[in-house]
A = this chain, B = another copy of it.
Amino acid sequence: MASVESKAALDLLVRRLERIGHLSDEERRAVGNLPAKIQTLRPRQDIVLDKEKPEHSCLLVEGWAYRYKLLGQGRRQILSFHVPGDMPDLHSLHIKTMDHSLGALTEATIAFIAHEALLDVTRRFPGLAGIMWRETLIDAAIFRQWIAGMGQRDGFGRMAHLFCELYCKLEAIGLAADHRCTLPITQTELGDALGLSSVHTNRVLQEMKAQSLIELRTRTLNITDWDGLVQVAEFDPSYLQLAQ
């Protein structure tokens, strides 16, 4: 059960939770002993589908994931992007039926942890419960930002804001520095996240390059004018709760 990979995954989880709040030795141990099933996924492979009632939540160990909702006429709205350390379906612990789908964006390593085990831990350690609760609340804060963006910002501003957000999340876990990071998503996906058509997404992206705010080639984003990007995005990272 305690394979090398699952140990590493739970270590990652412990570090993640500690970034949010303090853990006692006992709590650390309890998390470290959670049963985790490791699985590797292909790019674009689904993890949980809308309407399903999963029995476990997953910890993203490596790679990117995304949540999305399908609407009629082939429309798709991407709701969030996730990076290593995230638990994108932690909410299923208390809301049994999925209201959206979750998929891997890149090749990804996932650790599945049974709800039963997670619930047991939250019952025994209210502090841990609070930290996990907080995780889901940060998620909700990000949703609020997205709502504000979709309602009040134009495509340019929304894209700028998303780039700022993703860069900050990646930097916080050591996967980005120097305003440079990977961006393993197609323009169509970017559009589905921003509520723009792929054609318009492409044009906004070009405009952003033309203004020397970013460079983008072979799935690598280079933010050449961070301050400028922050300004057009009206970006304030406090909602991400990343302060160490």
Contacts and interface: CB of A to CB of B under 8 A. Distances in A.
Interface of A: 69, 71-72, 75-77, 79, 91, 94-95, 97, 99-100, 119, 122-123, 126, 129-130, 133-134, 136-141, 143-148, 150-153, 192-195, 234, 238-239, 241
A132 to B, nearest CB: 8
Contacts of A133: 94, 129, 133, 136
Nearest to A150: B150
Contacts of A71: 148, 152-153, 234
A193 B144 CA distance: 12
A145 B140 CA distance: 12
A218 to B, nearest CB: 27
B136 A99 contact: no
A100 B151 contact: no
Contacts of A153: 71
B195 A239 contact: no
Contacts of A119: 130
Contacts of A75: 152
B129 A91 contact: no
Most buried by B among A130, A139, A141, A151: A151
A195 B151 contact: yes
B99 A238 contact: yes
